[in-house]
Amino acid sequence: MMRLSRLLFPLLFGILCLTGGTLLRAVDPGAVEILRERVFDLYQRIDPPRVGVELPIRIVDIDDPSLATHGQWPWPRNLLADLAITLRDAGAAVIAFDVIFPEPDRTNPLQVIQELDLPPDLTRDLTRSLTSSLSKDEMFAAALSNAPSVLGVAISADGGAFSPIGGFATVGPPPARFLANAPSTIGNVPVLQQSAQGLGGIHVSVHDDDAVVRRIPALTQIGDTVLPGLFVEALRVAQGAQSVIVRTNPAPGAPDDGIPQDARVGALTIPLTRSGAYRIRYGVLDEAITLSANTVLAARSDPGSLAERVGGTLVLVGTSAPGLFDLRASPLGTIVPGVTMHAQAIANIISDTHLARPDWTLGLELSLLLAAGLIVIAASVTLRPVAAAFVATVLVSGLAAASWFAFSHRLLLVDASYPIALTLLTYGAVTVPVLIGTDRQQRFIRTAFSHYLAEPVLARLERDPDALKLDGDRRTVTILFMDIRGFTSRSETMEPTDAVNLLNTLLDPLSEAVLAEEGTIDKFMGDGLMAFWNAPLDQEDHAARALRAGIAMIEAINGHNDRQPADAKPLSIGVGIHTGEAFIGNMGSKRRFAYSAVGDSINLAARVEALAGSLSRSLLITRAAYDAAVKTDRTLANRFESIGDHDVKGRSQPVAVYALGAEKGPA
């Protein structure tokens, strides 16, 4: 009962901590989500796959050398037309531009004439002569219309409406309620947008709040239409598919709304998150996957020289130049061009290698953290701290190992970070109060018994407080009473201070004799003391310990006398020892109590000590004490001799007693 009440607060505190943590996980605030995502990032860093040239993906990079050669961005559209035509002639399956062209080419001759401050007649003549020739935008548009091309579209708060090129169909309820949405888009100049075979969103960071791009939007709701991601459109156009088919499941409680499950694009299936995004499994791109735009433009006269590198591939055109501000943070801890994220998504989809985090993982994670929390609570309140720590360590290690196994073998994202954190927090919430209570109990034991118990006994009690039964216990003990003979009459002729100093001088070695044998000093009674053995801890040889303590007391008082002047009157003591049953426990009131022993055996030991004075003996023991002592220490049989049965006060029958054999009269 005492232990249960002592553990009630830690138990309730641990359950409260576990309950609160579980509710927090169910709510899933942003900080918890970021912690989870960063653990998944760590998994990807530990074992990133290699994305090699065997996959039909290529990146044409508008890098710093390309800008140095062909001028700052934006390039003239006729140059981009050359780029598109060269890639088409080299056999590219699709050419997707991860850039947008929202304004007309400023280098168009007609545009330049309008901006020049020329005489009106000259302006009119030049305009008339150039009207019949194609503008640079029209050159680029012609190249796009004659190639499998996809242009980028950006989401915006104040742009225009979006008109998709490909079709969109759903199998199941419409997903508009769950898809990420934007009010409008910023597209390309009409002549370009009407010439492309596909339009795809180039935004990549809608779903991530810490600037790390882990998911890329596959579908975005724009008003009443759906904008596919650039990588989705690239896959659609490359396969010649007419539409994207999205499969949904009815939302719980709202069967008219569909939760996205996956998107079918030609022969490929793209698993989706609830918001219509695709979670990227990042890998290390082979350097040969990326071509500089310089390399492509240098092959304008001989596109066939690129056929081996880009023939039959999905080509994504983007930029790595820092000045064009399309660099993003990836889970691998690297800063990469945004176009590579579309490439990574395409690589995952083509190779059918997808990170998975199904809806049921939340239920699994909540079950794991509840189970682990309850186990660690039970271990903390029932086991010793070291054993409880071992259980907590095993649980935490098991959760981490299971999470890593799910990722490394199934690419399944099961969060162990929150269950581990909550398990450790719950363990601390239970263990700290338990340790505080244990420390308080140990300090209570040491404070309460330091003056009465030997250091080894205190240490044992501190290691095992439950061995101490403070409520009381009936047990067989050996009791010792000691009295300094004639001290009262001697102290009458002394100054009180001198009398106290002498008493303390005598009681110190006499007490040490008890403590040396791990006895418990019950009380000091003027110039005497009472002690007992076999309580509060069990001592198999308690009687032998008491007899050895009595002998040590006689030797201590004799040693004191030897150190006094020759004319000093020697001191003597009387010791009585008995073994029998007694009640051991706390005695007194609620406000003031003492750990003591009561019973007939206590009275008999006191009478034997008084009998020692009558018989001029220093140490007397009862037959019960003698018999119990020699069972564990046979050498004591040679130290004591029987001196017969003697009457003692309060007893109707004589008591058999033994005396220290070396004594032949008064000590």
Whether 120 is covered by a domain: the verdict is yes
- Do 339 and 483 lie in a common domain? no
Q: Give the DSSP H or E segment for 99.
A: none
Question: Of 445, 478, 507, which residue sits at a domain end?
Answer: 445
- pLDDT at residue 101, rounded to an integer: 95
- 344 and 375 share one domain: no
* Higher-pLDDT residue of 510, 591: 510
For residue 168, being part of any structural domain is answered with: yes
- Given this model, what pLDDT does residue 428 score? 85
pLDDT in tens, 208-256: 667 899 999 999 999 999 999 999 999 999 999 999 999 999 999 898 9
Domain of 158?
Answer: 50-350
Does the pLDDT at position 2 exceed 50? no
For the chain, the maximum distance between any two Cα atoms, rounded to a whole number of angstroms, is: 152
Instruction: Give 450-507 pLDDT, tens digit per residue.
Output: 555 555 555 655 566 555 554 568 899 999 999 999 887 788 788 888 888 889 889 9
Question: Is 44 contained in some domain?
Answer: no
**CATH number of the domain enclosing 539:** 3.30.70.1230
Of 390, 317, 406, nearest to 75 by C-alpha is: 317
Same domain, 546 and 481: yes
Q: Is residue 406 domain-shared with residue 554, that is, in the same domain? A: no
The pLDDT of 578-605, averaged and rounded, is 82
What are 52-73's pLDDT values in tens digits? Answer: 999 999 999 999 999 999 999 9
CA atoms of 85 and 147, how far apart (whole Å): 7
- Flag whether 456 is in a domain: no
Calculate what percentage of the chain has a pLDDT beyond 70: 86
Residues 202 and 98: beta-carbon distance below 8 Å:
yes
Average pLDDT, the chain: 87
Same domain, 278 and 176: yes
Q: Are 167 and 252 in the same domain?
A: yes
In whole angstroms, what is the distance from residue 344 CA to residue 408 CA?
Answer: 18
What is the average per-residue pLDDT within 369-373? Answer: 93
- Are residues 23 and 58 located together in one domain of the fold? no
Using DSSP's 3-state secondary structure scheme, residue 387 falls into helix
**What percentage of the chain has pLDDT greater than the value 90?**
66
Q: Both 537 and 638 in a single domain?
A: yes
384 and 483 in a common domain? no
- Using a 10 angstrom Cβ sphere, with 0-12 exposed, 13-18 middle and 19 or more buried, the burial of residue 280 is buried
Domain assignment of residue 45, yes or no: no
- Does this model's pTM top 0.85? no
Calpha distance 567→575 (Å, rounded): 26
Question: Where residue 667 falls among pLDDT bands split at 50, 70, 90?
Answer: very low
Domain count, the chain: 3
Q: Is the pLDDT of residue 160 over 60?
A: yes
Q: Are residues 440 and 556 in the same domain?
A: no
Same domain flag for 309 and 406? no
Domain boundary pick from 350, 377, 401: 350
* Residue 65 included in any domain: yes
Average pLDDT of the segment spanning 155-162: 89
pLDDT of residue 665: 38
- Give mean pLDDT, residues 12-33: 89
User: Is residue 582's pLDDT more than 60?
Assistant: yes
Cβ pair 477, 534 in contact under 8 A: yes
Residues ≥6 apart with Cβ < 8 Å to 620: 574, 575, 576, 577, 608, 609, 611, 612, 643, 657, 658, 659
Which pLDDT value is given to residue 232? 97
Instruction: Please give the DSSP secondary-structure letter assigned to residue 356.
Output: B
| Residue 359 within a domain | no
Same domain (yes/no): 80, 144:
yes
**Residue 230 CB-density burial (10 A; 0-12 exposed, 13-18 middle, 19+ buried):** buried
Q: What is the mean pLDDT of residues 538-544?
A: 94
pLDDT tens track for 170-216: 999 999 999 999 999 999 999 999 999 999 999 986 566 678 999 99
Structural domain contains residue 361:
no
